[in-house]
Structure 1
């Protein structure tokens, strides 16, 4: 006891970290055919995140660019269904109905294992909390992922706003209506909405780690992302495509509107994923370990 009391704060911290790592690693030795334990999910999440940290920057940028392209299929379906329902239902009913096709892009991204910022936010925070990576390395990785996601989205915005009217599957008025719907609300409202959206996307990543088969994963993605759309919560990547596309075709939407929305939604999503999921889930596990 005397020896323990004479330890420096740094030594006590290192000892505590070794104990945390031992508890997390115990999960890898358990044989459990049922639901995964908290420790198993945490171990899997940290392992997956570390694999992402160890990837080449070009690989991360390309994968995140692919995610920006793939999630755009949600926008394509939103516009197409809106155009199909226009005149048959009022606008409120249309926006509630098209939320059912909103998950398609997310399913393509997640099952295709491309890197989407909002799904990775909480995941990439866990190694920092576990002292395996630094905050600087996390922010650098976030920057790469966001850049790739946005570039992919910009490219598809140009393609879809050109293609839609020519295929006669939607027109520019539909694109404008969707963008204006996303922009509805003050900056504080969008920020809090984005926090909740980031929270849900972080939970999505956590729940996916707890599932063991593809059908369960599809159901989880569908449920979480349908809630996002039905409730009108703000997602920074699909929202970027919606608002940027509106900026391309509408005189009512200016670059300043897009930049204000995008910065607000990104900050909210990051805060919601990192704080409400990564920190809370991690601390909940740590509090179970004796001091």
Structure 2
């Protein structure tokens, strides 16, 4: 079938998202190749990287609340089944199911999509750090409120309260480097789930994927940073641990381990095992767009709509998909854009002489 055939064009449009990411596999329709999974991740990351601070924070806050459910049910079942490691952990994944299927922002989940965008130089390192910081703060605030409720209300039974303390103290008593490496394996699990989530095509598959993967954390005695933080805050509110000690001895090594495990062991490895074809596929809306090294290191740009085309190449995008400066240059020449400055830094988009032109969606 010719690519110029109307039926081919219709089929291609149905099988792609509005960002050009594949909805079906090219070789086998119900199975994605690594390049196609990467392309879907880039499309999702591109849509999320310039999300407003308010949206990011409250989505992360909801994720922190959801993690409280994991701590609640784990401690309750631990008490109910006398600490049986299998029965106690059967409902541990409940909070993560809420988060991933509900589309909330979890710190460890964000070690894959935004990092992939940074590796493609479609987002700067400061933009990545902005996302990580806001999401982590939101997760911690949500976990703090959850721990506060569990510590000062009757949600926990007396037996579950003792079990919750025992679970949290176990982490506090674990050596720093043991926590780090346990956290690294947990980070590998979470980032791996995200990669497989983008390879899945239906909610039932995603549900069982999340459930089975996150069972590994309690069964293997691993640690997730947001759960660990919630446990620490529970101990702090009960006066059993000082905040600084809990953060430095428990939360910090788990945070470092989760980050290293998610970024290095999954994101970077999966990035380099895809072929060079990813460069064209992942940037389907403009393969020549890429940040300079300076912009990548210290700039605030994020997302294909705001990444400038590389010098010496003419953008192939239609005008309605161009950024404001590019529209101005296309219509009036490069001299016009020299008088105005356009950049996107977090939520702030500022222009001087081009303020009347609509923002690229």
Q: TM-score range by the shorter chain?
A: 0.7 to 0.9
Measured at CA, do residues 192 and 29 of structure 1 come closer, stay the same or move farther in structure 2, by a change above 3 Å? closer
Aligned match for 2:75, one of 76, 79, 82: 79
TM-score (norm 2): 0.67
Number of residue pairs matched?
259
User: Offset of 1:207 from its aligned partner?
Assistant: 0.6
For the 8 Å contact 1:46–1:127, the answer to whether it is kept is yes
Q: Post-superposition, which runs of at least 4 consecutive aligned residues in structure 1 deviate over 4 A? A: 25-32, 287-290
Partner residue, 1:249 = 238
TM-score (norm 1): 0.83
Aligned match for 2:203, one of 203, 211, 214: 214
Partner residue, 1:101 = 91
2:59 pairs with 1:69: no
Distance across 2 between alignment mates of 1:217 and 1:73: 19
Partner residue, 1:233 = 222
For the 8 Å contact 2:25–2:31, the answer to whether it is kept is no
Partner residue, 1:128 = 118
Distance across 2 between alignment mates of 1:158 and 1:112: 24
Measured at CA, do residues 36 and 29 of structure 1 come closer, stay the same or move farther in structure 2, by a change above 3 Å? closer
User: Offset of 1:202 from its aligned partner?
Assistant: 0.5
Distance across 2 between alignment mates of 1:76 and 1:28: 37
2:192 pairs with 1:196: no
Structure with greater proportional helix content = 1
User: Offset of 1:287 from its aligned partner?
Assistant: 6.2
* Aligned alpha-carbon RMSD (Å): 2.3
Per-residue CA deviation, residues 150-196 of structure 1 (Å, 9 max, x unaligned), is 0000000001222346x637453222111012223210110111111
Measured at CA, do residues 136 and 286 of structure 1 come closer, stay the same or move farther in structure 2, by a change above 3 Å? farther
- Structure scoring higher RCO (CA < 8 A, sep ≥ 6) equals 1
User: Offset of 1:134 from its aligned partner?
Assistant: 0.9
Three-state SS of the structure 1 residue aligned to 2:153 is helix
Partner residue, 2:50 = 54
Distance across 2 between alignment mates of 1:270 and 1:96: 27
Distance across 1 between alignment mates of 2:257 and 2:76: 29
Distance across 1 between alignment mates of 2:270 and 2:216: 21
Three-state SS of the structure 1 residue aligned to 2:201 is coil
| Structure 2, gaps ≥5 residues long | 1-19, 280-361
Distance across 2 between alignment mates of 1:271 and 1:143: 16
Partner residue, 1:33 = 29
